[in-house]
Amino acid sequence: MYELRLESADDSSNYSTTFIRINNKDNYETVRISPRGYRTANNPMIEAIKQWLTRKLGVKRDSMYRKSWRANSHWVNAERKKETVEFTHNIYIGMEGYVIHFHKRGSRYYINGLMANKSVLMAALARTIFKSCFTDDGLELEKFMVKHITLPENVSYALENRAPYYFYLQGDDGYYNKRIECRLKVNLISDKKVAIEISDGIWGEMTVKQMNTYMNTYLKKKKQGSWSNLSPSELWFKVMKEEITEAQEHLMISFLNQNRTSKIVKERARDLMIHIAKRYPDRVAINWGDPETKLLDQKDKPTIMYIRGKLADWKLTDRGLKSQGQQNVSTYIWTETEQSDLEGFVDEIKMKGNWNGPICVDNLNNKSPTGDQFVTRALGLLNDNVLGERVSTLRRHLKGREIGQTSQRIPNKVFEKKRE
């Protein structure tokens, strides 16, 4: 039996625990799984569990290939029957031992009688294992797992974040080398079908299975199947089941240009920043680098956000980086001193003190846009008494501070001016 200790993504050394038994293995073993090595994944924790599980079950692609008849075909004679690798695993999850029967017959994979491709089943299994850290109810775990098999992780991502798509336009040199990346709205219209908006008010239809394959191509960069490198006219034909006219193609390309990925992501992140400032008007204030456009990632006009935490006051500044990373936003804490002022703070407000920092605070995922990093840090710093316990680089700056203290604070006028 394995005791899985799933480490939290912070510096608190906390972890969630569940128990897994594979087949008849009774030897007790403690395994620590950390999401830190999977920052590029959409869900680092689920990816970490999935990779551990793949190794333990021996279902990694190269491992299965070595076992298959193809790897030994040079000595297989004509009389010997060619064989593919098949397996059966019984997996017991949680203290109550919720049973999952995972097997392969021929080229098909099954979990408890439900067939899907291997990546979908492994993702559903990993999510169910993580869920078991918080419940041992077998019925609840069963419903949870079935949900993630019938609606794969890729499709859920598309429903929540839109489906990525790219195509190429003709550049100045006459070659089709100008890549346009955009996001398309996706709605679930039945248990087995989704609708995707490919032009203004025009929705095509795909099965959930097709949507999963599509997302493997455009999200996970797996060039498999017939969905790879589709031109707008080819995408139209696959989801509309009819040829596109010249006028429809022009409208479609204009629509796709208006839904470019970078534009959508930045606008949504900006809207989140505006929302949080309105939600906490006396604790969050934003000094936009460019008040008219409210654009981020502007090095010459950085946006600044001020947050009043329970222990301290904080400043977040836009570093003006053009690429997404783990630290697109710098974090500072206000500390009163005897000799200093608030040079470059807000308008004419002056007082004794300075901003200590930048303090190293990493995002677990390196795909977060700048606006999202502003919002996630702000939400954490609003409860800095909790965040300080989990992030060691903040903890040392908060020693000796108490909830509700009025010292070591920037003027209330900072937040009042932003409400006007």
User: Is 93 among the domain residues?
Assistant: yes
My answer on whether 220 and 360 are in the same domain is no
Same domain, 349 and 396: yes
Q: Give the pTM.
A: 0.62
Is 207 in the same domain as 346? Answer: no
Amino acid 364: pLDDT: 63
Quick one: 52 and 6 in the same domain? yes
pLDDT digits (tens, 9 = 90+) for 220-254: 888 777 888 899 999 999 999 999 999 999 999 98
pLDDT of residue 294: 63
Evaluate whether residue 278 is within a structural domain: yes
**pLDDT of 420 higher than 50:** no
Q: What is the pLDDT of residue 221?
A: 83
**CA–CA separation, 50 and 124 (whole Å):** 9
> Which DSSP helix (H) or strand (E) runs through 46?
helix 44-57
CB–CB of 322/297 below 8 Å?
yes
Regarding whether 204 and 331 lie in a shared domain, the answer is no
Within this chain, do residues 296 and 397 fall inside the same structural domain, yes or no?
Answer: yes
Q: 269 and 410 share a domain?
A: yes
In this structure, what is the dihedral angle of CA atoms 128, 209, 51, 129, given to the nearest 10 degrees? 0
Q: Domain containing 286: what range?
A: 263-419
Summarised one tens digit per residue, pLDDT across range 241-290 is 999 999 999 999 988 887 776 666 677 777 888 888 888 888 888 888 77
Q: Are residues 41 and 113 in the same domain?
A: yes
Nearest alpha carbon to residue 168 among 154, 182, 155, 157: 182
Q: Indicate whether 216 and 245 sit together in one domain.
A: yes
Last residue of a domain, one of 211, 234, 259: 259
Residues with Cβ within 8 Å of 238's Cβ and at least 6 positions away in sequence, in order, are: 204, 226, 227, 230
**Is the domain of 194 the same as that of 110?**
no
pLDDT-derived band of residue 347, with 50, 70 and 90 as boundaries? very low
Q: What would the pLDDT profile of 362-383 be if each residue is shown by its tens digit? A: 766 656 677 778 888 888 888 8
For the ranges 39-53, 160-174, 281-295, 300-314, the lowest mean pLDDT is seen at 281-295
* pLDDT at residue 326 is higher than 70: no
Give the other-Cβ count within 10 Å of 189's Cβ.
12
| pLDDT (0 to 100) of residue 116 | 85
> Among residues of the chain, what percentage have pLDDT more than 90?
14
pLDDT of residue 348: 41
pLDDT at 277: 86
The beta-carbon contacts of 235-242 under 8 Å, at least 24 apart in sequence, are 235/165, 235/167, 235/198, 235/204, 236/198, 236/199, 236/204, 238/204, 239/196, 239/198, 239/204, 239/205, 239/206, 240/198, 240/202, 240/204
**Same domain, yes or no, for 278 and 318?**
yes
Average pLDDT score over residue span 296-309: 77
What pLDDT was estimated at residue 73? Answer: 53
Give me the pLDDT at residue 396, please: 82
Q: Are 397 and 359 in contact (CB under 8 A)?
A: yes
